[in-house]
Amino acid sequence: MLTRSLVSLTLYSLTVVGTAYAADEAATDYWVRVMPAAWMVDFDGSTNYNINGAGSGDQQLSTLGLANQEVGFGLEAGFKLPFLVSLHGGGFMQETDGSFNTASFNYGGQNFTTGTSEVEISDLYLEADLRLLDLDVAGVAFGLGYHSMNNTVSLSGSGTSATLDEDYQFPVLALRGHVNVPVLLSLGAEAKIHWMEMSYMDNKISHLDAAIQITWMPWNMLGFMGGYRYLDSNITFKSPNGINASAKLDLSLGGPFLGMIGKF
């Protein structure tokens, strides 16, 4: 009986250790993880900036020479805490510039026909999730996030210039999920969505940030990722820069990304 009990206990211990080891080897499993990435972005959208009632409607980014493809950089860090809680933080920076030659229009109280243009975007966020399901094969988490963004649109030409430069913050709903290949746990897939629609003090925000990626961990602490990300941000400002004005910036950013993963 004693021998049989020892054998059973040994087999049970090996099973537990093996399961824990497999969990550590799963592509999407970690305690701490850092993911730097390069994002090849296609810019699209429109903008307007009216002062004291003077304006000429929406201007397409393509008309302003800003519908370009650019490389930007981002970073995300994740921390798994006890009680099925996860924390995430990160951000990205994107910019593009161009030139335009079009019919006369008014932007920020200035008239333009030809000139140069530039768009700069930065986004920092924090997120807290509850891991409703967290298994090697699949998992899903739901939580809340908070974004701090800055959008700048600058136009100059013929001795005139105008700049829309706005900082704004807003909460989002967050959803994450993962799937790992059962017979090859070093290969998996992940998805992330941040979404919010809200208005306050005549300002309106509609924000969707969605990404899906393939995660490959050929080594225990180092791996690679690649996928596609789409961001659609529609912001209407009332009295930007504290003046009697209104402005709108619709941005659609989408494209593939590649990056590395460091975890333990």
- Catalogue all structural domains in the chain, each as residue range(s) with its CATH number: 2-263 (2.40.128.90)
Residues sharing a CB contact under 8 Å with residue 128, sequence separation 6 or more, in sequence order: 85, 86, 87, 88, 143, 144, 145
| Mean pLDDT in residue range 221-242 | 89
- C-alpha distances (whole Å) from 57 to each of 105, 145, 173 are 8, 33, 32
Q: What is the CA radius of gyration of the chain?
A: 24
Please say whether the beta carbons of 153 and 118 come within 8 A.
Answer: yes
- Quick: pLDDT tens for 210-228: 999 999 999 989 999 999 9
Phi (first) and psi of residue 181, to 5 degrees: -70, 120
- pLDDT of 17 over the 80 cut: no
- Quick: pLDDT tens for 54-100: 777 889 999 999 999 999 999 999 999 988 999 999 999 999 999 99
In this structure, of 11-20, 52-61, 182-191, 251-260, the range with the lowest mean pLDDT score is 11-20
* Distance from C-alpha of 164 to C-alpha of 147, rounded to nearest angstrom: 19
- Quick: pLDDT tens for 142-181: 999 999 999 999 999 988 999 989 888 999 999 999 999 8
